[in-house]
Structures are given as C-alpha cells and as structure tokens.
Structure 1
Amino acid sequence: MSETTAHHGETRTDVHHGMHAEDGARRGEHPGRSRNPIIKVADIAWLEFEKPDLMRAEAFARAFGFQVALRTPSEVHLRGTGSGAPCVVLRQGARSRFAGVAFRAHSEVDVLRLADRTGVPASALPESMDGLGVALTDPSGIPVRIVSGMHELPALPPQEPLPLNTGRDVRRVNLTQRPLRVPARVQRLGHVVLQSTTYLDTLNWYLDHLGMIVSDFLYFPGQRHRGPAMSFIRCDLGDTPADHHSLALALGPANRYVHSAYQVSDLDALAAGGEYLLERGYFRSWGIGRHIQGSQLFDYWRDPDGFLVEHFADGDLFDSSLEPGWAPFTASGLAQWGPPVSADFLGTSPRSARREAMSMLTALRSDNEFDVNRLIGLLKVAKS
C-alpha cells in the first residue's frame, strides 16, 4: 500500500510504504496496471488441453486428485471439490498440446462489452457448460476465452486440513496424526504460467483487456534497466483479496504453456498425495518447498505427456491496494526453502535441452523481444 505525503505543495507517493517485497518500482518503471481497462475479470476459470490418450490422461488426473465432472468419447472435464466450473477440459487430439485458458467475467454484460470493443462476436458456450463467451487471442498467440453465466457444479466433500498442535495452541489431545497416502483432493485451479517472446505486449494486453494487476515483477540479473522479464498477475477485485497470481507471464524463447497450479488443503495433503503419485511411478519435477513470490507451498509433477502441474497450499491473497514488488529473477530466489531447483523444472535437463536450444535459435532469428542480451539474462537465471 502506498503512502501519500505533501511536500512544499507537491504530492508524493512512497511506493515502498507497506510493501510486501523488499523493493518497489523506480521512477518510470512499469506501473503494473492499466489506467482504463475494458473489463476486470473475476477469476481464472479453466484450462483446455488436447490429448491423444484420454484414458491415460484421466488416470493421471485421478491420481493427482481431480474428480471427473463429464466424460464422453472425445472429452473429459476435470473438477476440484469447490463449486463452479471444471478446472480442466481435456479433448481428444492428434497430439498433446495446450489449447488455451478461460477467465470468468463478473457478468455477461462484461463479456458483451469486451466483444464490442475487440470486434469479436460473443457466442454461446457448449451445452455441457452453458453460458456466454468471447474467444480472443493474446499477442503471443495463446487462445483466451472470457466467459460468464455457466451452470455451477455443486461442491463436493473437501479434504479437511489436519488439526495441528502448535506451541501452546493445542487442538489435538489423545489423538494421533496418520494422514493417508491417497490422492490430494484438488480444490480448484489456482493459476497458469505462460512464456512469451512478446512479453511486454502480452502483459499489457492482459492488463488493458482483462483489468488484471501485477503483484510482483522479476527482472533478469543485471538487466533491470531493460524492464521486467516476468510478472505475477492477479485479478483486481478492489477491496476483496484475490490470489497473488491467477496468471504468471515470463519472457522466453517460445510462446508456450509452462505450468498450472491446483490448490489442496494443506501441507499433509500435498506431501501424502505426493507419496501416492511416487508409488505409482509418476515423475516429481521439483518439491516440496515454499515459494517467495506468492508464498505457496509447492510440489511440481510431470503428467504422462510431459506437462508440468503443481499442487499448492497456503498462497498469498492481495487486495487492489498493494503496488508491485520488484526482484531479480534467479533460480535460488524461486523458493524460501526446499530442495535446489531441479534441472527439469528449469528446462535444462538433457531431455529438454535440445528443444530449448532450438527454441532459442528460432527466437533469435525472429522479430520479437527475445534478443541476444535477453538470452544472456535468461542463461544467468539458471546459474544465480
């Protein structure tokens, strides 16, 4: 929260007052929000993927902790225990690919306003969901659907957090703790992380079109003067607290999905659910630990097609008064505690190195924001 003071008749704002981060914006840096957005979205709604083997994808999803809301020969809807829309829509496809993200508008009026301003007609959503949507594309080519009026799935019984004895606060007497090794019941979709070769244009597009605001900026080591290279972006709900980020956007050599995150009840659910996944032969990419930006407890997994997904718990919630924090983008700065960040998570493992190298060469030959100096900055991230 900024503090405003008067000095010789001039009003000054101290962006470091009440900050959640050690450093705030300097004069002339990106403000992290749009002055006049078209609408302000309420939340992230769902993600869409195409998968060649829906049965294999569903088997992993159940082990990860999803419930199935709908299944047809060509489509599976995955949900959490909370009420609302499905978290993930899987469709039959020739290859495994990320097919887009949907955000929930506050009303169908907002959907129509966005459709009018963009010149893209609104249309009815599939009968399985109902409601109205407008299908846009962000500057990096990611399909983005803005939706409203869907029918709500009823809430399911949640996985309750375990009662904890902390110091003299005793909540459990004559009882033991024996968390079962079962799937961690996913509660909801928390966020998606995307990479873009046109990072700044794409960031501004989300701020201008969807009214989202930045919680934290990261910049490549030694390149703060070039501007941010990653942003954690939340929905602007005014005085109502919102997730630290529903979307995170990073500058990189390809326009692609990076990972998505799904909330579970607590650390025990996250850890025991991880043991369940390990016992079934699934691959842990990185975890367990606690992030810095967003503060979440995290555990990252690869699905059978190589897509990165995260269990998280205990994330930060900000209202609209907080200004963005600024910090260097470093591998060591991705967590407060936990194992060192893995080569798999960073994309530097042998199985991904060739693909990453080809992406870098392609990006450097193209007209975008990813130039040689940005490549040098990105390579420093993994070593810092």
Structure 2
Amino acid sequence: MNRLLTHLRHVDLAVPDFEKQLDFYSGVWGLTETASDNGISFLAAEGSPEQYVVRLRRAEEKRLDLVSYGAATPADVDTLAEQLLSQGVQLISRPGGVDTPGGGYGFRFFDCDGRTIEVSADVAARRHRRIETQESIPVRLSHVVLNSPDLDRTRLWYEQHLGFRLSDTLSSPHMGEVMHFLRISNQHHSMALAKGPHTSLHHVSFELRGLDEYMYGTGRVLRAGVRKIWGPGRHLAGNNTFSYFLDPHGNTVEYTTELESLDEDTWHPHVYDFSQPEVTDQWGTANPMSEIVAKESFNDVDRGVFVAPPV
C-alpha cells in the first residue's frame, strides 16, 4: 500500500501527579514547556520543528492518551481516513481542524489494541534551534515502543492499515518472537511492538545530538537520582545507543542516538536472538538484560484502551 505517514510527531500521557511529571520532563529530562492550558502541558524538544513531542494531561488514572503521526498533506489525511473506514477501523473523529498548538488538519482512530492514534498534516513548524556540542538535551522524538499481548496481530494491523514495514525482529529459543521494529521511512524504526502481558506503553525514546551528548545526558539524569533500568549500551537491531530510565509515574523513557538509516530497496529483516548478549548490547557496558529488567517496561495495564482521551 502507499505510505501516507511521514514521521512520529508526539506521544501524549495522562498522569495523576501532573506537577511531578511536569517537573521531570521540563527539568531533568530537558524538554521545554511551550504552552499550557488547565491541566495540560505541551513540551517541545529544542532541536525539533514539532510544536511538541510530549503532552501531559492531569487525570485520575495513568494512561497513554495517544500516539501522533504526521502526513504530508490534508489530502493524504483524507485518503487515509477513507481507507481506514473502508477497512472497518473504528474512527474516533473525522478529518478536520486540529485544536492544539500549531493547528493543522487531522483525525483520530483506534488501533487493534484500542490505542488512540492521531494523524495530522499542515501543523505549523515551531521555531527551533541547533543543539550545541555537549548540550545534553533531546534534539527530537526518536521512536515509541508499545506493549501488545498479540504481537503478530498488531504488527499485521500496522502493516496493512498504516503502511509500516518490518525492519527487524528480536526472538529467543524459549520465548519466541518478542519485538518487531517497524518503519515508515529509511529510519530503522519509529515504532516497535513488544510482547507484553497487556496493552500498555513500553517506552518513549528521545534522540540526542551525538554520542558525547548522549553520555553527558545519561550522566546528568543519573546524577539527578532518576532510576535507571538499563544502559548505557548499544543495541544491534537499529545500531542505536540506549539508556533507559523511569519517569515519576513508572513510564520508561530512553535517551538514544545514532539510530540506523536503511537502504529500503535492499534491506532484508533480520531475526536476532536476544539471548545472545551482543544482540541486546554490542558494547557490553549495560547491565545484563534479564526478566527483571524486561518486566520494568511492561508498565501498568493501560486504562485508556478503546476509550478516547477527552482532549
């Protein structure tokens, strides 16, 4: 099918302790609050033209509100909405004006696991800047990873309905396939799907300027006393660096850099055995991957499944 999505825009989280989360993301994590409105905060990455990469919403229950992707034109938004309707996908809204910073034209729908996905075009670009040498704050949003209890069904859904393509898979002799890396461009993945016991957010990843800045950032977050789950290291699939931390509400967030760019015409997906230590971490610098580490990112059961966020 034609690929109508262009890039990952933002990930929106609902949180009971709004102030604590806002302090974390706008403070130690290095995002910039650019707008706020009655218990909602929009947080941008200084190096990104996106109006915001994280939205926080004050709520009684923790949930993933939505994942937002870009499209090239309003016509592509309309085309995608018509395709999804004809394929029986449940739309939350029809294409129309987007009432968030930067405006635009978009719509929302549920994926097969009940997550809210938004697709938009014509969002005004934000004035952003070049991130300087040794500046250890996120340049942009890199990717999002989602837990799914039925990995292959969810992968197939994203391939069939949204034009994602498989880049690589992680597998092991005892657990079978546990993660699919999916792309909508030559970037190795903008989304990955992880095998989890329930539908939930696995992690949100933020790109730093380079290796030095990634290490400075990892150290800065560690010194701030934030709980590190795993890293620093370098994955084999995607060839990107990783340092995983927990935000105050137990969502996993990652600093990364140097995610692989593929030649899509010649690329063939690999199946990597993640029980081999060099698959999870080529460098050998991270704490070993274990069931305990893996369970940290199962997250809580998402209360937002097939329930559209109020805003």
- Shorter-chain TM range is 0.7 to 0.9
Are 2:289 and 1:324 aligned?
no
Instruction: Work out the CA distance in 2 between the residues paired with 1:348 and 1:83.
Output: 32
CA contact (8 A) 2:229 2:296 kept: no
Secondary structure of the residue aligned to 2:282 is strand
Q: What amino acid maps onto 2:273 in structure 1? A: P
* CA RMSD after TM alignment: 2.3
> Which runs of structure 2 are paired with 1:245-324 in the superposition (5 Å)?
245-321=189-265, 322-324=267-269
TM-score normalised according to structure 1 size = 0.70
1:70 corresponding residue in structure 2: 35
Q: Deviations over 1:14-40 (max 9, x none)?
A: xxxxxxxxxxxxxxxxxxxxxx35x43
Quote how far apart the aligned CAs of 1:223 are. 7.0
Are 2:111 and 1:138 aligned?
yes
Secondary structure of the residue aligned to 1:189 is strand
Q: Deviations over 1:121-145 (max 9, x none)?
A: 2132114231111211111111111
Equivalent pairs: percent with the same residue?
25
Gaps of 5+ in 1: 1-35, 161-178, 237-241, 360-384
CA contact (8 A) 2:230 2:293 kept: yes
Gaps of 5+ in 2: 86-90, 302-311
> Which runs of structure 2 are paired with 1:75-154 in the superposition (5 Å)?
75-80=40-45, 81-119=47-85, 120=91, 121-154=94-127
In the alignment of these two chains, the number of paired residues is: 288
Q: Which runs of 4+ in 1 moved over 4 A?
A: none
1:169 corresponding residue in structure 2: none
CA contact (8 A) 1:196 1:255 kept: yes
Q: Deviations over 1:259-283 (max 9, x none)?
A: 0100011222222222222232211
Residues 127, 82 of structure 1: CA spacing in aligned structure 2 closer, same or farther, 3 A cutoff? closer
Aligned match for 1:52, one of 1, 8, 16: 16
Q: Deviations over 1:50-84 (max 9, x none)?
A: 11232211211121111112122311111112212
Are 2:303 and 1:339 aligned?
no
Q: Deviations over 1:186-239 (max 9, x none)?
A: 110010111111222211111122211111022331576xxx442111114xxx
Greater mean alpha carbon deviation, residues 282-291 or residues 272-281: 272-281
Residues 71, 202 of structure 1: CA spacing in aligned structure 2 closer, same or farther, 3 A cutoff? same
Secondary structure of the residue aligned to 1:336 is coil
TM-score normalised according to structure 2 size = 0.85
CA contact (8 A) 1:331 1:341 kept: no
Bigger Cα Rg = 1
1:200 corresponding residue in structure 2: 152
